[in-house]
Structure 1
């Protein structure tokens, strides 16, 4: 699997950071640089119906060489998160990791510590890839892309019996737009898997229900020397609003299936303050209740101060479990493929979202399979080469075991 690592290193050196402030499609032109590379590689591998569309999506089809009927798909995203720099990535391979702290950047004293990240010890003896501490790595999700490409190469080279296999690489997943323009008229799979996860063996077919809430509070500014009975400080009202939401329904206090409100942004003055929240819960009823509570808080404050607060809530995506839990065949196929590769499956819920959630509600059931990457979106990101190879085996086994 030498090409697996060569591909991954090649991909992470291409800057593909997405931009939530951009209205273009894709949000950054840099993503097209990788899209063009992937298009050429799919053609070189011998896939047909290879398309790079005007929105930056890449598709390809490996036609069936058997009587298998299921049309399956594999999907990964090309962009990296805007949370941290993805430019001039300098990956370093650490052979046979010894279980000690890893100095990523001696000059800047940036250390990947087993105290801060104890799960690093699980990878003792693995070959791992780390950053130089100045950028993220990009395993999210270029590890997934490299794994899909390498699995295709193996399936073709070894002439493994397989059904029609569709592949898709999307832009802008990290800013929530990855499925916006995904073309199911091109990608004609019956079901698919996103290869976009973390720890070896992770398999997810449920995720958060998600919404965003934008709040605008209008105050009344006046010279503080004559403000008595007249000033209305929108900043203080914003603080009051936040204090009325449940204290322990915040990300820093929640885990597993617990949902939350996250005040992700706030800026303003006495005259006007804007707040942005994200609302998350796996349970649909609790999710709806969280939105209702926020509306009730705003209604209360509007009655208290006059109609000074505007609230807009927009649903982002829903829990794909609604669309997948009855498709035991899709779940069992992935779990059997992992077990065939000697992996103990770890079925869990995503505390986040995925292209697969949106695609599942578009009619393409799409659970998620691990890549081997860890500590995404920051300088301490790393990936296990051993786990990447297991992800490749899992993809190959899905093709082998499909009916």
Structure 2
């Protein structure tokens, strides 16, 4: 019942509408117009004003024609850079960009799958309970749209997020917590050629701290990375300040605490060793989630996958998503694989068959929400 050509055309049209993080406004307006034409109640919240985006989260509701449980689907509108003027190409059943930008399947594939399912339901007058949709802003770089979403506007108690790079059939039931770590090292300036011994190199202090750290893959559940270093201005001055930005993630909140404390201690020890000082800031960006494999929401996803011929499997994820925020704020959520391949790279691509399977999965989940 899913119209494959219409779905592909719709996805192509979406990725051509530029929507980098904090500039999702044009795409949001386009989606609102589409949703209203389909007969959904549509609103935009004030999250954009709070986080500096040019629009808020799009929230839509299709009133049910049959008794059942309200079901919620969510994907995010923003894309990572470079994503301006995407030129999609189809080769051998796969959609690519032209290689100068990302494709934007993360997460416009999820949005297209949801929209096609809605069109199929409405055109076929298929039985459905209330359906809610959230298309969020500013997901990339901190999940800020979902963090500022007014959850009281939603009736659903469960949400299916379509935003995982796994194959359709993948059900993400565990996601990591993430800490953002910021360090500002204060050394002492001196002339690098005349009296370097009078200075304390903030860059050297930071380098020593980093050299003592456990980084990248810590264990099966935990990772850490130094993402940004800034310091110094000219070669003839011992650099008095250096800024370092890092992250740590873990599926286990206790392990994350240990890792973050370890990274802070490395900087404190290095500062003490060289006579410098350091300002350390640790911010919990989002908490971990762990949905039971035998919970109702997972059982529904497995049933829906198997009904349409997908091999269902549960898995953890090392990446954060709006799924983390929904779970933390009382709406049970899982993240579904929709086939986004190599997201956040110029090689990003999407198999058409996966796009179709994702839309079929949305449709099947809607059917399962109807009272029998």
Q: By how many angstroms is 1:326 displaced?
A: 7.7
Q: By how many angstroms is 1:393 displaced?
A: 1.0
Q: By how many angstroms is 1:228 displaced?
A: 5.5
Which residue pairs with 2:106 in the alignment? 140
- Partner secondary structure for residue 366 of structure 1: strand
**CA distance 1:367–1:185, change in 2 (3 Å):** same
- Partner secondary structure for residue 376 of structure 1: coil
Quick one: distance in 2 between partners of 1:188 and 1:182? 13
Quick one: distance in 2 between partners of 1:92 and 1:254? 39
Which residue pairs with 1:328 in the alignment? 295
Give the length in aligned residue pairs: 351
Q: Is the 8 A contact 1:372 1:385 kept in 2?
A: no
Quick one: distance in 2 between partners of 1:11 and 1:254? 38
Which residue pairs with 2:39 in the alignment? 46
| Aligned counterparts, 1:236-315, within 5 A | 236-246=204-214, 249-250=215-216, 253=217, 257-269=220-232, 270-306=239-275, 308-315=277-284
Matched, 1:8 2:11: yes
Quick one: distance in 2 between partners of 1:143 and 1:287? 31
Quick one: distance in 2 between partners of 1:385 and 1:231? 60
Q: By how many angstroms is 1:245 displaced?
A: 0.6
**CA distance 1:182–1:228, change in 2 (3 Å):** closer
Q: Deviating runs (4+, > 3 A) in structure 1?
A: none
Which residue pairs with 1:359 in the alignment? 326
Which residue pairs with 1:37 in the alignment? 30
| Aligned counterparts, 1:1-400, within 5 A | 1=3, 2-18=5-21, 27-28=22-23, 31-48=24-41, 50-54=42-46, 55=48, 56-68=56-68, 70-82=69-81, 85-94=82-91, 97=92, 127-176=93-142, 177-198=144-165, 199-227=167-195, 229-246=197-214, 249-250=215-216, 253=217, 257-269=220-232, 270-306=239-275, 308-321=277-290, 324-325=291-292, 328-400=295-367
Quick one: distance in 2 between partners of 1:338 and 1:229? 67
Q: By how many angstroms is 1:364 displaced?
A: 1.3
Q: Is the 8 A contact 1:167 1:187 kept in 2?
A: no
TM-score for both structures, normalised by structure 1: 0.83
Q: Is the 8 A contact 1:66 1:163 kept in 2?
A: yes
- Partner secondary structure for residue 93 of structure 1: strand
Quick one: distance in 2 between partners of 1:349 and 1:308? 39
- Partner secondary structure for residue 348 of structure 1: strand
Quick one: distance in 1 between partners of 2:122 and 2:204? 63
Q: Is the 8 A contact 1:71 1:165 kept in 2?
A: yes
- Structure having the larger proportion of residues in strand: 2
Instruction: Show CA shifts across 1:290-321 (max 9, x none).
Output: 01212322332343334511100000111111
Quick one: distance in 2 between partners of 1:63 and 1:306? 65
Quick one: distance in 2 between partners of 1:91 and 1:225? 54
